[in-house]
Structure 1
């Protein structure tokens, strides 16, 4: 995904913003417990971890 590309390029703010948008959409469409939603949350968490 584009957010993962931003993450790999260390463009943390862009990655974070996009992950947050994706998470909100996935929650609304697929629900909080859907695997894709949870994966997106994990990706956001990894963005925060990489930033320190």
Structure 2
């Protein structure tokens, strides 16, 4: 059952760029981490800092 839930979460989050961790020791607990948003923010900040320090 848990494997099915994890596989379903991976399928859904693959298109949105968000990782979902759920279940485990706390039933009903879910944690979402936005990979794509983090990547975009990181690239923008890196470019801005590079321009400032140039």
TM range (shorter): 0.3 to 0.5
Richer in helix (by share)? 1
Higher relative contact order (CA 8 A, sep 6+): 1
Richer in strand (by share)? 2
Q: TM-score, normalised by structure 2?
A: 0.38
